[in-house]
Amino acid sequence: MNKIDVVLGLQYGDEGKGKITNQMAKSGAYDYVMRYNGGSNAGHTIYDGGKKVVTHLVPCGVLHGIPSVIGSGCVLHINNFFIELDYLDGLGYDTSLIKVAYNCHIVTDDHIDEDSKDVSIGTTRTGNGPCYRDKVTRVGKRAEDIKELKNFIFDISSMGSDKNILAEGAQGYWLDVDQGDYPYVTSSNCGIGAVLNNGFSHKDINKVVGVAKAYSTYVGAKQYQKTDDPIFEEIRKIGLEYGATTGRSRQIDWLDLNEVSIACLRNGVDHLIINKLDVLEQLNCWNIYDPNTINKILNFESKDSFKDYIRNEISSVCPGIEIEFQESPH
Ligand code: IMP
Ligand code: MG
């Protein structure tokens, strides 16, 4: 059996999965790192020994000399892929470690043109939706059809069945095309099932690490932020809450524990990481939406009481879950 550790976002993306995946990849425990969904709509910001590295598609294993696979659940634009390779090459990383699943679908320029006209969803305009549509309507192109990708083509079967794999997710559970707030979702599945669709058994899953932030953010066309409390602007500035792909300002709101605990439950999260506590600490403001009363905000006096409340609430929904708190990486 393989042993797959999964890193999965529990909110709307931008929870800090890149940082966590990078911490785990660094451990040396993995034979492969695999991205299992999405395309270059994602933006993973990683600080590698003080160096800021922003990737959109390539999994972070390449930063640590680990073969890195763009799985069949992903979509890839050829030119953007090579731009990212050049960028990583320029930073001194060994891009010959990068592999592309033969059955990964190709984003075309037409897909990007079409997506660039979107106003209703607020997409990242990277051609994601049109590409997944063509995959599902069976008119898409796959990596195996593309001459320029010949040297990168990878069949998941060639891994064998006894590998340690780190599976890196993109976006977050509440942007999932089935489970999110449709139509304000991305066009792929972002939950645990998406990992298996890259060619694995549920028995291969070893550990699920769920990542959330100490507050909520969302980018897109719907109104997510409930009020225009000026503190949200401060959180945006301190937390650098601007899209890594599009530079758009992220909408900010207090932590929604119902969202996080449901995502933990449905994805079988073993280990929950709550990131960016330092942002709230700078403002000394510890708020959470009351999980039992809509739109009621609970104020906590201190970081410790905020953490205790989260621990108790999440553990009551997901008994036995490990909970860890972290700060911003920079
Ligand atoms: P698309 O994935 O580009 O089609 O965009 C659909 C929705 O998902 C939009 O609201 C995007 O802002 C959001 N989205 C897509 N990728 C990310 C991400 O990596 N982080 C945060 N939001 C994202
Ligand atoms: Mg991101």
The amino acid occupying position 186 is T
Cβ contacts of residue 119 below 8 Å, gap of 6+? Answer: 221
Residue to substitute in 44, 57, 121, 124 for testing ligand 1 pocket (most ligand atoms within 8 angstroms of CB): 124
Residue 44: per-residue pLDDT: 87
Collapsing DSSP states into helix, strand and coil, what is residue 218? strand
- Phi first, then psi, for residue 167 (nearest 5°) are -100, 120
In the reported structure, the alpha carbon of residue 302 is separated from the centroid of ligand 1 by a whole-number distance in angstroms of 33
Q: Which parts of the chain sit beneath pLDDT 70?
A: 330
Task: Please pick, among 5, 44, 111, 270, the residue that the annotation labels catalytic.
Answer: 44
Residue 31: is it exposed, middle or buried by C-beta count within 10 angstroms (0-12/13-18/19+)?
Answer: middle
14 is catalytic: yes
252 strand-pairing partners: 217
Residue 246: per-residue pLDDT: 84
Residue bearing the CA closest to ligand 1, atom 9: 123
In the reported structure, the alpha carbon of residue 157 is separated from the centroid of ligand 1 by a whole-number distance in angstroms of 30
* Cβ of 129 below 6 Å from ligand 1: yes
The CB density around residue 294, as the number of other CB atoms within 10 Å, is 8
Tell me the pLDDT tens digit for each residue of 73-124: 999 999 999 999 999 999 999 999 999 999 999 999 999 999 999 999 999 9
Task: Give the 3-state DSSP-derived string for 140-204, with helices as H, strands as E and coil as C.
Answer: CCEHHHCHHHHHHEECHHHHCCCCEEEEECCCCHHHCCCCCCCCCCCCCCCCHHHHHCCCCCHHH
Tell me the pLDDT tens digit for each residue of 153-182: 999 999 999 999 999 999 999 999 999 999
* Cβ of 251 below 6 Å from ligand 1: no
Both tokens assigned to 88: 């990583």
Length of the chain: 330
* Cβ of 187 below 6 Å from ligand 1: yes
In the reported structure, the alpha carbon of residue 217 is separated from the centroid of ligand 1 by a whole-number distance in angstroms of 12
* Cβ of 83 below 6 Å from ligand 1: no
Q: For the chain, what is the largest distance between any 2 Cα atoms, rounded to a whole number of angstroms?
A: 60
Residue 245: per-residue pLDDT: 79
Residue bearing the CA closest to ligand 1, atom 20: 13
44 is catalytic: yes
In whole angstroms, give the CA distance from residue 235 to residue 240. 8
Q: Which atom of ligand 1 is nearest to the CA of 128?
A: 4
In whole angstroms, give the CA distance from residue 124 to residue 219. 9
Q: Indicate the angle between helix axes 257-266 and 303-317, nearest 10 degrees.
A: 40
Ligand nearest to the CA of 14: 2
In the reported structure, the alpha carbon of residue 132 is separated from the centroid of ligand 1 by a whole-number distance in angstroms of 14
* CA angle 168–170–9, rounded 5-degree value: 85
In the reported structure, the alpha carbon of residue 41 is separated from the centroid of ligand 1 by a whole-number distance in angstroms of 6
